Amino acid sequence: MKQTIGISDYRISDAPEDELITYSLGSCIGLSLYDRTRKIGGLIHCMLPLSRIDPERARAKPAMFTDTGIMRLIEELLEKGAERRRLIARAAGAARLLENQGAFRIGDRNQVVLRKILWKNNILLESEDVGGTCARTMSLRISDGVTSIRSAGNRYDLT
């Protein structure tokens, strides 16, 4: 079943019939984490890099921010039986406006914070489709962990 994940949201599933999907990744970051042995995975759509701009909001909605969101996704997957060393991480999003001159660099910052959090958690980023000016749709198939991207009329898997 298709499970739609909105902006600033995440979901975890081990139901083989599920496909987790998130639309309209602009400068936001999407991350899929999948344990191939347990066949459990999660997808998150984080909007802004750091929760310090609104800690109260981060407590209510951790997935709004890349730092608190990715931590929550990892913790919940581990609680539900996934193993850290088996987690396959794939990222998409972090698009940029044209002639990005500093102030509008939410995408770049999201990407940096994502890498930092994954590194801190000993999780390697297997593949990514980031940057550019195109918006993306990202999906994770729970039966086999395939992560797909749709962008500018094209569809491809992240391998």
Partner 1 sequence: MKQREHILKALPDVPGLPTAAVRVLGIMDDPDAGIADIMAAVEIDPRLTTNVLKLANSAYFAGPRSIGNLTQAGVLLGSKRIQQLVVAAAIFPVAGKQIRGYDLAPGILLEHLLAVALGTEHLAKALKYKLPGYGFTAALLHDIGKIVLGTFLEIDAAPIVQLAFTEGKSFQDAEYEVLGIDHAETGALLLESWQIPAPIVEVARWHHDPEQAVVDPMLVKLVHVADHVSFECGVGVGVDGLNYRPSERVVKELHLTTTMLEEVACQMMVALETLRPQLLGED
In the complex, the residues that contact partner 1 under the rule CB under 8 A are: 7-8, 23-28, 47-50, 53-54, 57, 64, 95-99, 101-107, 109, 132-135, 152
- CB of 147 vs partner 1, minimal distance in Å: 18
**126 vs 89: CA distance, rounded Å:** 5
Of 106 and 158, CB closest to partner 1: 106
- CB of 107 vs partner 1, minimal distance in Å: 7
Of 89 and 94, CB closest to partner 1: 94
CB 141 within 8 Å of CB 84: no
Of 90 and 96, CB closest to partner 1: 96
Helix ranges (DSSP H) in 1-157: 55-60, 66-79, 106-120
Of 79 and 99, CB closest to partner 1: 99
CB 111 within 8 Å of CB 94: yes
CB 91 within 8 Å of CB 27: no
CB 158 within 8 Å of CB 149: yes
- CB of 25 vs partner 1, minimal distance in Å: 6
